[in-house]
Amino acid sequence: MNPEFIKTICPYCGTGCGLIVKVENGRIVGTYPDREHPVSRGTLCIKGWFAHEFVHHPDRLKTPLVRIGNRFEAISWDEAIPLAAEKLKATAETYGGDAVGGLCSAKCTNEENYLFQKLIRMAFKTNNVDHCARLCHAPTAAGMAQTTGSGAMTNSISDLAGADCILIIGSNAAESHPIIMGEIYKAVDKGATVIVVDPRKTAVAQNAAMHLSINPGTDIPLLAGMMRHILDAGLHDAAFIRERMEGFEELKNFLQAWTVERAAGECGIGGDTIRNVAEVYAKAKEAAIVYCMGITQHACGTANVHAVCDLAMLCGKIGRDFSGVYPLRGQNNVQGSCDMGGLPNVYPGYQGVSDPAAQEKFQQAWERDLSDKPGLTLTEMIGGAGKEIRALYIMAENPALSDPDVNHVLESLAKLDFLIVQDIFLTETAKFAHLVLPAACFAEKTGTYTNTERRFQLLRQAIEPPGEAKGDFEILCLLANGLGIDFPYIHPREVMEEIASLVPAYGGVRFDRLERAGLQWPCPDTYHSGTRFLHEHKFTRGKGLFVTPQYTPPFEKPDEAYPYYLNTGRMFAHYHTGTMTRRSPFLNRELEEPYAEIHPEDAQRAGIREGDRIRITSRRGSIVTAARISERVAKGSIFAPFHFTEARANILTNPVLDPISKIPEFKVCAVKVEKEPYENQGR
Amino acid sequence: MLQKVKDITRSILAEKQADGVLGLIRGQWNIIQPHVFDNLRQVDNLVLEPKWLLAKMAMTVLRSSPEGYRLAVIARGCDERALTELVKRNQMEKDRLLTIGIACSKEQAEICLCQRPYPEKLDAGEPVAGVDPFADETTRDLLVGDSRARMEKWARLLKRCIKCYGCRNSCPICVCIPCKLEDEVWVETGVIPAEMISYHLIRAFHLSDTCVACGACQEACPVHIPLVALQRSMREALRQVYGYEAGLDTEMRSPILYDLFKKPAAGQILPDWINSLENDNES
Amino acid sequence: MTGPGRSNNRRTEEQATPRMLVFACKWCGLIGADGAGKKRIPLPASFRVIPVECAALVEPDAVIRALASGISGVAVLGCHLGGCRFNHANHAALKRLELLKTLLDATGIGGKRLLLAFGTAHEDHQYAEVIHAFFAELKTLPSTDPWMY
Amino acid sequence: MSKVAVLLCRCFGAVDGVIDLEALRREAEEDASVVSSTSSDSLCLKEDMEKTAALIRDCGAEKVVIGGCSSLARGDAVIGGLVREGIKCSHIGLVDLREGCAWIHGDDPHVATLKAWNLVQMEIAAMRYRKASDDVTVRVCPEAMIVGAGPAGLSAACTLSRLGFRVHLLERGSSPGGMLNLISHVYPSDEKSGDKTKKYSEEVEKNPLISFYPKAKILSVRGFAGDFKVHISSSEGEKKLRVGAVILASGARVWLPYGLYRYGKLKHVITQMELERQFLRESVPIKTAVFIQCVGARNKDRPYCATMCCPSSLKNAARIRDENPDARVFILHRDIMTPGSVLEAYYRKALAKGVQFIRFQETNSPEILGDERVEGVEVFDIINGMKREIDTDLVVLSTPLVPNDDNAKLAGMLGLELDRYGFFPEIYPLHPLETRMDGVFICGSARWPVSSDQAMMQGEGAAVKAASLLGREAVSALSLSRVPGEKFGHASVRAEACTGCGNCVAVCPFEACRLQNTGRKSVSRVNKLRCKACGNCVSACPNGTIQLPEHDYRAVGAMIKQAFAEERFK
């Protein structure tokens, strides 16, 4: 009768806060913050406090479903697994292994991701494995790997509290990473200066000492302008550059072209502001750069990341306590799923597939021949659906809402020969599936998550999955056996041991070491206590590299036909495609309907009033949503959150890709706005 | 103190004074969590730290328990006061509740700026003297002095609010379902910072006569808003004007709900004929 | 109603004329308002009257809501203490709203933004006086702009 | 969403002389919930009213927003007219555009129009959330309980029984008569008080409709107008009564001035009542007597005038002179209070009979001379400005009537409050003899010290008021109203959201709320017949569970939101 309290990890953002769920009679009845958790320390955001609400939602998938005509029919696991295996095998036999693709998930545990990519790579001898990191921090992984050798947050979240200057670029941490914002406020209370670069006046910007409302997509000009001024004023850390960096001359040459005035012109702000910000940053004893989707989701996302790293390295503000570069990962385990090799070009631990040594190592360990050809990325797989890709296995992803130009995505998904979707709800994507496998949510499985500060944390099973649903771990093992691969694992613990043996940086990670507070990688052996910050004496790649960031202006600029910039993003009560949050009554109450923010002057011109229904149209499609008149957006800009299936902001977004990381340009496209006719106002 | 609490717990369970004792247990993986002790063996793992408000949990345990179930709660001063307030608001029955009062340490009292770091019914531990919250510089900064400067200070702090509802969720006395803070009439939904004036002032005012200054809200705030300071002024006003303090006694009734003809409020000048009214209507 | 409830009252800049909301009890304040109208006593225009059955019906939350919507001051006009047709109802209102003033003072918004007039505005001239005086008072108070966003 | 019709009244130029009503009308039409927006010359005129009603029916509007004059002017009349046309009172919103806008902002038509638009907008927005309270009807129990068988109670009982209602007459003592039993004559008729009581007590005895309960005590009262459940005990034991109305005629008591004028120490310092008792027993001729007025009255403790002490002194002083024409009788007074033609004549009669009047000041009150016994009185006469010594062996102190000690208890049971002195007040000067509790009426000295004939008059009045309630077959909660139109409404509770905290029970001035245990939790219940819709519970409720449907919090929120909405008449 007594309630049980189980310590676990929040399933939402990359902060990885500690939750304690209260279980009564096999049901989760409440969530409490974990007072002893190293990151959240007894606090939670709105999503965390109500994380239990979706778990027992009646919409949860309880049995495998197979498509028959236009409807789904429940089948048993005994039918589902052979069906899946047979279809995948047939596809591989007919079209070759490269016609099969797999999307693993940033929502699943490290062990599951590891198994997923292992399954795809082993069974089909292909590297067509990717996941939604492609849509958020692929540029970070690529860009930071080039500059520092390690595509992860250099420091720990708690380090932010010790910084004297925090430069936040393109992150609305207050809504997307609230607990991290708390650390920033700690620094503010100690006297730190917070500078926010964001076209929108976000909640973060409202609380900052300085807010730079730059034109969308002009991050490189701004950072280049800052670097130029730092160089001109001699504020750079010459000793650091001499000892630890390379490529300085190239950078200097590049900066020749970027006078502060030119930068200011591009950004639409004053040159003195840029000088001022540059000085504040460079002169601060400890300075941190926090960035997020505002940097990465551009067609020049990787170059943006380069520019950010260049600035930090130019001032020597990296590789020590407090100072560093803090990319904020968006999903609870997006760091982990990248680490576990859920990317088409690398094995677990970022060991390149085209690196013969790595290939050899994994071939030996897995006892199968592996492909040395980098696989297709998520965007390429979706784009090539029905062509190069004939069968797709999607584990807990929802590209029908999250990918750019979703109208096109939907068309592509419909073209697939066979689509398996493994999820906890019948998502928009699952509706296209031929086979739907019911999976377990965070409270129903054991495993590890890696949060944005590279901390492996233990997820503990609190309750059993509903109905016949199974943990992804179990499903993967079943499917592997169906495909004739031996996955002899009984517990995720064993998978973790296998990972530790294959990836040196995770060599010391064991479940029993994670019980109390988790471990931050690199952790090479079982005596190592984890690494609080990276690049202390030397960069992971040896010397740090200045990469010159090549500026590409946003692909689509407002013109006469489409006069507004569209910016997409999150809002605080919802999370990504809303699969979980919109099924949580409390969170959904906070915001039930989609909206788009528009500046009062623009609204007045278009005759739009608060709450009116408006139609936003881009070259790719249009959505109808409610207008919210707000000075948070700049004049000439529209902001729309992308959580809503009834007004998918990603119908509008532009699928133009970053050449290196293949991330689409989510943050900028051109749209037009009209008020819906009176009869459609729905009043 | 720990030993004494364990002894009392054992004797309560042995003598069947209560069917369960709510306290903290050091469980598997060294995790400390609330627990209802109902057999003597478990009592060995009982711990008292960290400070963890159990009042609301006691309420939920009593609600889902059969009739006649009696629960003992290991209660700090604030816990006891919160329980008293819950009893006053009919959220639990007084005779089904027993408390094992423990005193807080001086350090804890200083962290909480607690005026009464001990329960009225003290069973274990030495009570330490209370702290005057208004002697604390941060509190004074927020509540005393130039009002314009104070307004800016509060605005700056409250502007951080990310509307996590942690303050409400962790409050031992907030029991309403639904809550006014969830209603778009009172607090704009879907926007952060939460409307500063309405969210925080409505929350603060709803607790004006029930807040026991336990500090749970402040501890749960991810953005470090000094929420307890918001209550202090009202608590102090009620204490000075009416001699009322929340949670001391179930018989002590809130002056804004009862005895309404009595002295209205500080600073309110009444016409002199009112005086006779007060005197005549003591009953 | 679509979209989240949001107020149109938000002030974008410092306003020369304070905006005032009057909750007038039907049995006193409203009679005063009527009388002032009949006598055609000129009053500043930026106040709005919401008639209520009794001052006790004015929820403190509504006062907070009004201040949060960019209204500079709220006046509650009720009957004489002891002269309420609902027994002690206006005493209850007084005690509640006085306590609210404490909170407004503590946060620096200023308790003076809430005017409680019990029985002083049931006649036309008194009503006009109360409105004028409150306007004058509000003009001296610092703006609440830091609280608006 | 409800459909709203907006009716604007030009009031023959009184409104549209300042406010641009046409612009207002056009703007209102734009509003999504408005189905019709019209203006007319004068809504309160019969022809316009009929036209309007037809128009509302035609456009299918459920709710009406009227922009015109204030409710005190013709607003209530317009509402009344529409109610007669079949529109629910709570579905009509009145916006005061004349007194509340046009006439006070006549100097700036532009601003006034803007404000008027805001006011109309506020009401349109609020209308969306206003609902009508559910009404309940109870059968009226055609019986009355009268508390106190003094002159007021007796006359009330006889009047009611003559009107055909059953009456339960409760008396604290053992026989009817009340204070009349303590005095010998009554002023101004100088009748014997016994005669006066007699005709009533005979009727009480004979009339089968009147049950008399001597030595009665009220143990509890529950219920509401039309159906009170009273538990009493009397010499015949305990009994439960069901009555439709209660008339409170419990009277008052005499204040004894211990500590003043050495009362209680000197034998011949007596009160008016003791003098009456002497007269009742056997009249002893009195040679000299000094009456001192306002003893313990009209001072800081009891600032009121008890109204019956001056005439009583006049009565007794005159009587002493009548019985002994040589007697020297003085009345020391601060002011002689004899209002009205009858009492003024009564005063002149006493004057003519040779009663002497000396006026003193409150700050310089008379002093009793003599150590062992009364030898005289020293008084500073402010009329001729000198100190006077009056030889006398009898001093009669005129003391006021004060409330009964158990008034508070009685008030508590009936859900009444006492006034600042402890008497039972009337709800409002406009509603004499009615209390704040519907179905409870007051008369006689329980309400205010009065003479016996006034008490009887009030008794009859209260009886008639009670009869108007008892004569109804049934009452509905909304019909229990004293103002034109329907009652405002009453509070209602959403049981599923109620936390049972009891705040509403604590603050309700009428004990209309109580907690009901529904298994796991307590839930507040509102007695609709007791509820007066003051809204105190609404403000005290922590989560808005208890609401007045006519004044829903969402309506208030909407009004606040619209109060200074976008200013569009640029």
pLDDT band at residue D218, thresholds of 50, 70 and 90? very high
Closest to C112 in 3D by CA, of C135, C128, C96, C145 = C135
ipTM: 0.85
Closest alpha carbon within chain C to B184: C5
- Whether chain B has a CB inside 8 Å of the CB on D534: the answer is no
Q: Which SS3 state, helix, strand or coil, does residue D380 take?
A: strand
Q: Which residues, at least 6 apart from D424, have a Cβ–Cβ distance to it below 8 Å?
A: D248, D407, D411, D416, D418, D435, D442, D446, D447
Q: Residue D570: is its pLDDT beyond 50?
A: no
Verify whether the Cβ–Cβ distance D538 to C57 is below 8 Å. yes
Verify whether the Cβ–Cβ distance D427 to C71 is below 8 Å. no
Distance CA(D468)–CA(D23), nearest Å, equals 49
Distance CA(C91)–CA(B261), nearest Å, equals 6
pLDDT on residue D487: 59
pLDDT band at residue D345, thresholds of 50, 70 and 90? very high
pLDDT on residue D551: 87
Q: Which residues, at least 6 apart from A11, have a Cβ–Cβ distance to it below 8 Å?
A: A51, A107, A332, A441, A442, A580
Q: Contacts of residue A683 in chain D, CB cutoff 8 Å?
A: 1, 32-33
Closest alpha carbon within chain D to C70: D564
Rounded to a whole number, what is the distance in Å from the CA of A449 to chain C's nearest CA?
35
Burial of A67 (0-12, 13-18, 19+ CB in 10 A): middle
Query: D440-442 and D474-476: which strand pairing?
Result: unpaired
Distance CA(B87)–CA(B249), nearest Å, equals 10
- Whether chain B has a CB inside 8 Å of the CB on C102: the answer is yes
Which of A206, A593, A631 minimises the CB distance to C2?
A593
Q: Contacts of residue B50 in chain A, CB cutoff 8 Å?
A: 35
The mean pLDDT of D425-449, rounded to a whole number, is 85
Q: Contacts of residue C37 in chain D, CB cutoff 8 Å?
A: 70, 96, 98-100, 103-104
pLDDT band at residue D456, thresholds of 50, 70 and 90? very high
Verify whether the Cβ–Cβ distance A612 to C2 is below 8 Å. yes
Q: Contacts of residue C6 in chain B, CB cutoff 8 Å?
A: 188, 191
Rounded to the nearest 5°, which phi and psi values hold at B150?
-65, -40
Paired tokens of D363: 């700050």
Which of C3, C8, C149 minimises the CB distance to A626?
C3
Per residue in D173-199, pLDDT tens? 888 988 888 888 898 888 888 888 888
pLDDT band at residue C2, thresholds of 50, 70 and 90? very low
Q: Contacts of residue A682 in chain C, CB cutoff 8 Å?
A: 2
pLDDT on residue B280: 35
What count of residues does chain C have?
149
Q: Contacts of residue B183 in chain D, CB cutoff 8 Å?
A: 544
Closest to D180 in 3D by CA, of D204, D151, D156, D213 = D151
- Whether chain B has a CB inside 8 Å of the CB on A182: the answer is yes
Distance CA(A152)–CA(A505), nearest Å, equals 13
Rounded to the nearest 5°, which phi and psi values hold at A175?
-100, -35
Query: A324-327 and A287-291: which strand pairing?
Result: parallel
Q: Residue B277: is its pLDDT beyond 60?
A: no
Rounded to the nearest 5°, which phi and psi values hold at D247?
-110, 125
Verify whether the Cβ–Cβ distance B280 to D422 is below 8 Å. yes
pLDDT on residue D85: 81
The mean pLDDT of D365-380, rounded to a whole number, is 91
Per residue in C67-89, pLDDT tens? 888 888 999 998 887 777 787 78
Verify whether the Cβ–Cβ distance C45 to D100 is below 8 Å. no
- Whether chain D has a CB inside 8 Å of the CB on A607: the answer is no
Distance CA(D155)–CA(D210), nearest Å, equals 12
Average pLDDT in chain D: 88
Closest alpha carbon within chain D to C28: D72
Q: Which of D1, D66, D99 to mutate to test the interface with C (most CBs of C within 10 A)?
A: D99
Distance CA(A525)–CA(A509), nearest Å, equals 7
On the question of a cis peptide bond just before residue A641, with omega within 30 degrees of 0, the verdict is: no
Rounded to a whole number, what is the distance in Å from the CA of D566 to chain C's nearest CA?
6
Closest to B22 in 3D by CA, of B50, B51, B62, B49 = B62
Rounded to a whole number, what is the distance in Å from the CA of A238 to chain D's nearest CA?
57
Distance CA(A105)–CA(D353), nearest Å, equals 113
pLDDT on residue D13: 85
- Tokens 């498509």 locate to A67
Residue type, B139: T
C-alpha distances (whole Å) from A581 to each of A319, A460, A589, C24 are 37, 21, 10, 43
pLDDT band at residue C121, thresholds of 50, 70 and 90? confident
Burial of B129 (0-12, 13-18, 19+ CB in 10 A): exposed
Distance CA(A583)–CA(D352), nearest Å, equals 95
pLDDT on residue B269: 42
Verify whether the Cβ–Cβ distance D502 to B90 is below 8 Å. yes
Q: Contacts of residue C110 in chain B, CB cutoff 8 Å?
A: 147, 151
C-alpha distances (whole Å) from B140 to each of B145, B212, D392 are 8, 19, 71
- Whether chain A has a CB inside 8 Å of the CB on C4: the answer is yes
pLDDT on residue A10: 92
Q: Which residues, at least 6 apart from B239, have a Cβ–Cβ distance to it below 8 Å?
A: B245
pLDDT on residue B271: 39
**pTM of structure:** 0.86
Closest to D297 in 3D by CA, of D335, D348, D343 = D335
Closest to C7 in 3D by CA, of D498, B186, A457 = B186
Q: Contacts of residue C3 in chain A, CB cutoff 8 Å?
A: 593, 595, 610-611, 626-628
Verify whether the Cβ–Cβ distance C94 to B233 is below 8 Å. no
Residue type, C33: A
What count of residues does chain B have?
283
Q: Residue B263: is its pLDDT beyond 70?
A: no
Kindly report the three-state secondary structure assignment for every residue of chain B: CHHHHHHHHHHHHHCCCCCEEEEEEECHHHCEEEEEECCHHHHHHEECCCCCCCHHHHHHHHHCCCCCCCEEEEECHHHHHHHHHHHHCCCCCHHHEEEEEECCCHHHHHHHCCCCCCCCCCCECCCCCCCCHHHCHHHHHHHCCCHHHHHHHHHHHHCCCCCCCHHHHHCCCCCCCCCHHHCCCCCCCCCCCCCHHHHHHHHHHHCCCCCCCCCHHHHCCCCCCCHHHHHHHHHHHHHHHHCCCCCCCCCCCCCCCCCCCCCCCCCCCCCCHHHHHHHHCCC
**Inter-residue contact A370 to A352 (CB < 8 Å):** no
Per residue in A74-129, pLDDT tens? 999 999 999 999 999 999 999 999 999 999 999 999 999 999 999 999 999 999 99
pLDDT on residue B282: 32
pLDDT on residue D415: 79
Rounded to a whole number, what is the distance in Å from the CA of B1 to chain A's nearest CA?
23
What count of residues does chain D have?
570
Burial of D23 (0-12, 13-18, 19+ CB in 10 A): middle
Distance CA(A48)–CA(D347), nearest Å, equals 86
The mean pLDDT of D476-489, rounded to a whole number, is 63
Verify whether the Cβ–Cβ distance A572 to B162 is below 8 Å. yes
Q: Distance from CA of residue D306 to its chain's centroid?
A: 18
**Inter-residue contact D333 to D363 (CB < 8 Å):** no
Neighbours of D191 (CB within 10 A): 13
How many B/C residue pairs have CB atoms within 8 Å? 130
How many A/B residue pairs have CB atoms within 8 Å? 99
Regions in chain A scoring below 70 on pLDDT: 1, 682-683
Q: Residue D121: is its pLDDT beyond 50?
A: yes
Q: HSE-up of B22 (CA within 13 Å, CB side)?
A: 29
Distance CA(B210)–CA(C127), nearest Å, equals 36
pLDDT on residue A401: 86
pLDDT band at residue B136, thresholds of 50, 70 and 90? confident
Per residue in D280-319, pLDDT tens? 887 678 899 999 999 999 988 888 899 999 999 999 999 9
The mean pLDDT of D156-183, rounded to a whole number, is 92
Average pLDDT in chain A: 91
Verify whether the Cβ–Cβ distance D497 to B180 is below 8 Å. no
Closest alpha carbon within chain A to C149: A206
Closest to A48 in 3D by CA, of A14, A80, A73, A82 = A14
Q: Which of A19, A35, A190, A512 to mutate to test the interface with B (most CBs of B within 10 A)?
A: A35
Rounded to a whole number, what is the distance in Å from the CA of A582 to chain D's nearest CA?
23
Average pLDDT in chain B: 84
DSSP string, D403-432: E-TTHHHHHHHHT----TTSSPPPS-TTST
Tell me, what DSSP letter sits at residue D135? P
Verify whether the Cβ–Cβ distance D543 to B90 is below 8 Å. no
pLDDT band at residue C6, thresholds of 50, 70 and 90? very low
Q: Which residues, at least 6 apart from A587, have a Cβ–Cβ distance to it below 8 Å?
A: A46, A47, A50, A53, A573, A574, A581
Tell me, what DSSP letter sits at residue C145? G
Distance CA(A284)–CA(A604), nearest Å, equals 43
**Inter-residue contact B114 to B213 (CB < 8 Å):** yes
C-alpha distances (whole Å) from D115 to each of A65, C134, D101 are 61, 19, 7
Distance CA(A392)–CA(A412), nearest Å, equals 11
pLDDT on residue C16: 61
**Inter-residue contact A21 to A28 (CB < 8 Å):** yes
Verify whether the Cβ–Cβ distance D539 to C85 is below 8 Å. no
Q: Contacts of residue A612 in chain C, CB cutoff 8 Å?
A: 2
